[in-house]
Structures are given as C-alpha cells and as structure tokens.
Structure 1
C-alpha cells in the first residue's frame, strides 16, 4: 500500500471516530429535547443523527479493513455492505418521519419550546460543515463512494438542522403549530434520494464472494 494512501486512510478513520463520538452526543441530547418538547422535527433529526452514527461506524470498519492490508475483494465487500447499511438507514428514517409527522398533522399536535434543542442545533450548524469538508476531501483522495455518500448524509443532517431550527422558531414566535411536523417532512425527499443513490452504488460493486 503506497504511503500517501495509508496516511489518508488513517486520517479518514480518525475522522470517522470523532464523527461517531459527536453524533452519539447529538443523538442523546436531541432525543431528550425532542421527547420533552413533543417535537417531530427534533426527534426526526435525532434519528438522522443515529444514521450518521451507524454510517460512520460501518465506514470506519471498512477503512480499518483496508488499512490492515485486507485483499481487494474483501475491501469491495465491505464497501458494498457499508453502502447498503446507509441505504437501509435512510429508508427507515423516511418511514418513521413520515408516519410521525403525518400523525401529528392529523391530530394537530403542537410542540413546545426547547432551549436544549436550540443549543444542540446551533452547535450542529458549526460542526457539520467541518465534517462535510473533510469527508469529501478524503472521499475524493481515496476514491471512496461510501465516504462521499456519508458526506451527503451529513449534508442532509445540516439541511435538516436549518429546517428544524426554523420550525422551532416559527412555533415559538408565530404560534404555527404545524411548522414542526412540516419541517420534519421536508427532510424526507432528500433522505429518500440519497438512500436510493447509496443503494444503486452498492449494486454496482461486484466482488468474488469465495
């Protein structure tokens, strides 16, 4: 393995470790805030962060395998599994957000203000662009579709952060009870698109299973 690629692999793996640590923190805080405030958008955002944990951890596993000198066929297998995990995770989140948001729209359930939710959303606005930059950087350097797909996942989380923050403020400032579930639903088309792309990329990877 050439020296520069090995260096990039190590740095990409370290990035994924920090990604997992931050996202676990984000999931715990946003879930507490979302459940306490009865916010579909915050809960949906927490679930998207859960996908990032799964995606980053699986991708770290795949990078670790290549770093340890795993043969090309096994690396391809891990790439394929990683992309399938990302695609499946997106699908589950789309289903949950759709169900939860539509139910709250029908029942006209409103969310409450959450200072804790506001804080973690603002922190995410700072952290996620940094993660996106480095995931794209190493994804291009390593020619890794899985790492680039993971960067898109983080971009969706960033987009969702802006939407959820807007919904939270609209509910509080203008009393628009429907802004919270609608904010959550706006994430679904993007998540579905990225999930579908990850699935198609996984199908295109061929390897010898023997």
Structure 2
C-alpha cells in the first residue's frame, strides 16, 4: 500500500511539473505572437498582454522549480531561487504597469486608433480556452495532492483568464464600433491587473501569502 501511494504521488507531481512547463512554453509563444502583432497593428492592449505573458514566464519558472522540489519531498517554504524569481517578477510587473499607464494616457490624449484588433480577438479566444484547460488540470492535481501551492498556481492561472477576457472585450469592442479609446481602456485594465500581480509577487517573496486567491488560505507552510 505504501509503495502504491508513493508511486501515485510521484505520478501526480510529474503531472504538476508538466503542467508548469506547458504554462511556461505557452506564455512564451503567446508573448511572441501578442507583442509582434500588437506592435504591427498598433494595439496597446494586445502588446501589453504579450509583455504580461513574458513576465508570467519568469513566475512560471519559479512554480516549476517549486513543484520539482515538492516532488522530491522537500518543504514548500520558498528557497532563494524562488524568492529571487518572485522579486524579478514583481519588478517587471511594476515596470509594465508604468509603461501601460503612460502609453494608454498618451493614446487617449492623442485619440490614437489601432489599425485592427483582429489578432487581439484571436489571441484572447485561444488564451481563454487554454487557460480553462490548465485551470481544470491544475486544480485536479492540486486537489489530489492536497497541495496549497499547486492550487495557488491554478488560482493565478484564473487571473490570466481574466486578462484574456479583458483583451477580448477591448479588441471585440473596437472591431465592432471603431472606438479607439476602447483599446487604451483595455490596456489600462491590464495595467491594473499587472500592478496587483506585481504586489502579489513581492508579498509572496516576503512570505506573506501563497498567491492569487484565498484558495490557498492555509499557506504554503501547511504542505508536507
């Protein structure tokens, strides 16, 4: 029985590690596509969404590292690498927030309009579906392992889902109405999410929480 339980735990942690890697590579691809077409189509919301995806890669590497440690039977207390990754993530989110705020305000003042937001619609729809699949499996694995850390990661993926919805609304709204300010407003909302994610990252680096929602209210230290 004990051996079977250990084998099952190892299988679940391998799944969790794979999900973390999928998230990293997905965000890399999403970031490249979003930044490329966001710059080409002059849509701030899509460009900002892409930069946010790149920052999520840094956070994802920290999560992958944490899951691998948990799979080796270590405690969920964050090590030096994870804390440093969180600080870099938090700083990058704050820089993104400042850049999006400045660009969005300038865009509103100048009455700038994107060339098109079709790619924003496509990227956001793909992201919504992908994030829902990742949330489902991360929650399933996290529940099976009774892991606050993995459940917290699933909760953070829900934040990415909300960002995708914001991008979809801004892109679809502009495509249907031609109101250029919708793109800038969408980027302002993304800036707010980026600020909250940055604050969350610094809090986690200081050990003040495990992230993104009350789904992990028991705290990381309760694991193992």
Range of TM-score over shorter length? 0.7 to 0.9
TM-score, L = length of structure 2? 0.77
2:15 pairs with 1:11: yes
Report the alpha carbon displacement of residue 123 of structure 1 after superposing the two structures with TM: 1.0
Report the alpha carbon displacement of residue 105 of structure 1 after superposing the two structures with TM: 1.4
Match in the other structure for 1:52: 56
1:113 aligned counterpart, secondary structure: coil
Q: Matches of 2:88 and 2:139 in 1, distance apart? A: 19
Q: Structure 1's 152 and 98: CA in aligned 2 closer, same or farther, altered over 3 A?
A: farther
Specify which of 105, 108, 113 is matched with residue 105 of structure 1. Answer: 108
Report 1 or 2 for greater relative contact order, CA contacts < 8 Å, sequence distance ≥ 6: 1
Q: Structure 1's 109 and 47: CA in aligned 2 closer, same or farther, altered over 3 A?
A: same
Q: Matches of 1:100 and 1:178 in 2, distance apart? A: 12
Report the alpha carbon displacement of residue 152 of structure 1 after superposing the two structures with TM: 3.9
Specify which of 169, 172, 182 is matched with residue 169 of structure 1. Answer: 172
* Number of residues of Structure 1 aligned to a counterpart in Structure 2: 205
Residues 1-210 of structure 1 correspond to what in structure 2 (within 5 A)? Answer: 3=6, 4-68=8-72, 72=75, 76-139=79-142, 141=145, 143-145=147-149, 147-204=150-207
Residues 75-103 of structure 1, C-alpha deviation per residue, up to 9 Å, x if partnerless?
64444344434433332322222122122
Gaps of 5+ in 1: 206-210
Report the alpha carbon displacement of residue 138 of structure 1 after superposing the two structures with TM: 4.0
TM-score, L = length of structure 1? 0.81
Residues 99-148 of structure 1, C-alpha deviation per residue, up to 9 Å, x if partnerless?
22122112221112143332222111111111123334444535344x45
Q: Matches of 1:188 and 1:58 in 2, distance apart? A: 22
Gaps of 5+ in 2: 209-224
Q: Matches of 1:202 and 1:135 in 2, distance apart? A: 22
Tell me whether 187-196 or 25-34 shows the greater mean CA deviation: 187-196
Q: Matches of 2:112 and 2:158 in 1, distance apart? A: 29
CA RMSD of aligned residues (A): 2.9
